[in-house]
Structure 1
Amino acid sequence: MSSGDFFGLVRAWLTVHLPRARRLSPHTIRSYKTALTALLDYLRETRGLRLAEVTFDAIDHATIAGFGSWLVETRHLAPSSANQRLAAIKSFLAFCAAEDPTLVAVWLGVKQVRSMRAPAPSPDALSMTAVHALIAAPGQATPRGVRDTTLILVVFDTAARIQEALDLTPADIDTTPGRGRVTLTGKGRRTRTMPIMDKTGRHLDQYLHAFHPGTPDPDATLFYTVRAGRHQQMSQDNITYLLNKHADTARQSCPELPERIHAHQLRHARAMQMLRAGVPVPHIKEFLGHANIATTSIYASADNQMVREAIQRAASPAPDLAPAWKGDDDLILKLSGLR
């Protein structure tokens, strides 16, 4: 099969099969597109293949196994992220095999590639001291300060995934005191309604007044940037940039803030806070929108502080210790739906 056949199937998979037949969200399709783009980068860097030379002949068990190792060793992806890329490639080849029986052997070979070994993840949650410092860092003196404070508060208070926060609209917000809530749309287009603190509701009211004056369009993007005079949804890169900008400021009073900040650390911090407050793990699972309680259980296994405090409370009195002493590729990518 030719390179044209390969990229024709890429385009059909990305623009027809995934959005129409499988009805996947744009966010999920973007992640699949990222996986294919990474595979093309791998073939170029390790095989010297230009896009016009990529065919199914270049794809077999050894190639995809090497691709997984390359993602971890050269691209420095976590094994879990590399496995997501591998799963996307396998999904693509399964689609190709269904479209063209001559590709079944390719799919069956790649299907046998083992996932990268991933150690049990430990959530890199921010401490509550760090969360408070980060929320306070933008200040309230400027419109951007109001926006950034509100965004950080909403992400923390609802434990939202970053894309869930970016997809919010004014219609998803209820700031009624004592009954405030935010409706998030998560993976698989599943929605969940999250209660919010009255303080978060007041910040949202202030934000809506400044950035969505009058009667807001209920379907407008809640958090946006302005480009060429038009409102556009903020990107994940925008969020990462502003979090790290404010972390640089907050670090002056809170040195424990890590050098790099990402939005998921706020989600982890909220989950750990709930766990330490005695909220049962099944309730936290629903709050976070996890499909499997095993995913939520990592917070319980990671929180040694709770165990330490319980041991201290249960310990019998003991004597004190003695005092111590101290060009072309662009066109192909566009035509195949990868750009």
Structure 2
Amino acid sequence: MKSDEFFTLVRSWLTIYLPRSRRVSPHTIRSYKAALNTLLAYLGETRHLTLEQVGFEAITYSSVSGFLAWLMDARHLSASTANQRLAAIKSFLSYCAGEEPALVAVWLDVKRIRPARTPERAPDGLGMAAVEALIRAPGQQTAHGLRDTTLILLLFDAAARIQEVLDLTLADVSTVPGRGQVTLTGKGRKTRTVPIMDKTGRHLEQYLDLFHPGPRAPEKLFFYTIRVGRHQPMSQDNVAYLLNKHAGTAREHCPEVPGRIHAHQLRHARAMQMLRAGVPLPHIKEFLGHANISTTEIYASADNQMVREAIQKAAASAPEPAPIWKGPKDLILRLAGLK
């Protein structure tokens, strides 16, 4: 199928089917759009395809499987984020199969791809030493350094999801000392207003003076990139790239900074910091925007696990007690309830 037919279906999916037929939120549409743009970037980088050359013949089990691996290895996305990109591609192909029967085979081929495995573990929040090193890493000698410092600091201080920060407008941000706050729009278009530290407010003011000089339109995006001379939204991939670039610098001063880093680790770190400061779980739940407190309770479990690991480490140097199960074979079996 030719490139123009491919992009015709892309346009109708994004502009007609998703918003009108499915009533999908603008946030989800942006996420789907980002997935398709990233797929096009992958095909250009690894298959050397120009936009004019991209068609459904380039979308196969092999290419999309490679795309999933590339997202994690080259773009440093977490498995869960990469799986969201894969789900978006599958959703698009499902729509295409419904519009054009000849594309059913393409959809079924890609549908067989299994999502990347996501480890089942407690939230991997950064330690405070790593957080501080990461915030300091960009420096503030350049405009981009100031922007990146402000972005990282706000992600941590507001314990915000990455898209929540990228969706902020000027109207959503208040830097009044002692009353600084940001209004975040989370999942299901639910909004919550969270306080920010005065230190964060001062950084936001510096950022505003540099990146939003003159009259400030309330509806303008707080963070942005410039393409073709125009303000454009930042993508999650942009932020993932910046975080890992600065993590390399931070690691030189703080070995605790992990080899791969993602924005959610800052959110986890803030939640753990609040928990250890004695903030009740219901308050943390509201701060994080969790729908159910059982999600928030994971942090309490994670903290208990850290305590348990510390106890086990301390016990490693203690003398071993005498074996409990020692004696005649029949006696051991009876004690164990096996006879």
Which structure has the higher relative contact order (CA within 8 Å, separation 6+)? 1
Could you tell me how far apart the structure 2 residues matched to 1:8 and 1:124 are? 42
Q: Deviations over 1:233-273 (max 9, x none)?
A: 44444434443443343333322222343322212211221
Q: Deviations over 1:82-113 (max 9, x none)?
A: 65355435544654576689999998999898
Query: Could you say if the C-alpha distance between residues 288 and 31 of structure 1 is closer, same or farther in structure 2, counting changes exceeding 3 Å?
Result: farther
Query: Could you say if the C-alpha distance between residues 279 and 262 of structure 1 is closer, same or farther in structure 2, counting changes exceeding 3 Å?
Result: same
Q: Deviations over 1:277-333 (max 9, x none)?
A: 233444333322334545444433333224567x79xxxxx9x968xxxxxxxxxxx
Q: Which residue matches 1:256?
A: 256
Residue type of the alignment partner of 1:254: C
Could you tell me how far apart the structure 2 residues matched to 1:298 and 1:161 are? 17
Residue type of the alignment partner of 2:125: A
RMSD: 4.6
Query: Could you say if the C-alpha distance between residues 85 and 234 of structure 1 is closer, same or farther in structure 2, counting changes exceeding 3 Å?
Result: closer
Contact map agreement 1:137 1:247 (CA 8 A) in 2? yes
2:278 is equivalent to residue 275 of structure 1 = no
Q: Which residue matches 1:167?
A: 167
Aligned length: 308
Q: Deviations over 1:105-156 (max 9, x none)?
A: 9989998987666441443322101111222233444444433322221111
Q: Which residue matches 1:135?
A: 135
Q: Which residue matches 2:322?
A: none
Residue type of the alignment partner of 2:32: I
Greater displacement, 240-249 / 193-202: 240-249
Greater displacement, 168-177 / 272-281: 272-281
Contact map agreement 1:184 1:193 (CA 8 A) in 2? yes
Could you tell me how far apart the structure 2 residues matched to 1:270 and 1:91 are? 34
Query: Could you say if the C-alpha distance between residues 210 and 103 of structure 1 is closer, same or farther in structure 2, counting changes exceeding 3 Å?
Result: closer
Could you tell me how far apart the structure 2 residues matched to 1:54 and 1:235 are? 24
Could you tell me how far apart the structure 2 residues matched to 1:154 and 1:75 are? 25
SS at match of 2:252: coil
Could you tell me how far apart the structure 2 residues matched to 1:9 and 1:189 are? 27
Q: 2:31 aligns with which of 28, 31, 36?
A: 28
Could you tell me how far apart the structure 1 residues matched to 2:116 and 2:248 are? 34
Could you tell me how far apart the structure 2 residues matched to 1:162 and 1:135 are? 16
Could you tell me how far apart the structure 1 residues matched to 2:278 and 2:251 are? 30
1:225 to partner: Cα distance = 3.9
SS at match of 1:20: helix
Could you tell me how far apart the structure 1 residues matched to 2:273 and 2:251 are? 21
Q: Which residue matches 1:305?
A: 306
- Identity across matched positions, percent: 63
Could you tell me how far apart the structure 2 residues matched to 1:40 and 1:168 are? 31
2:186 is equivalent to residue 186 of structure 1 = yes
1:170 to partner: Cα distance = 1.7
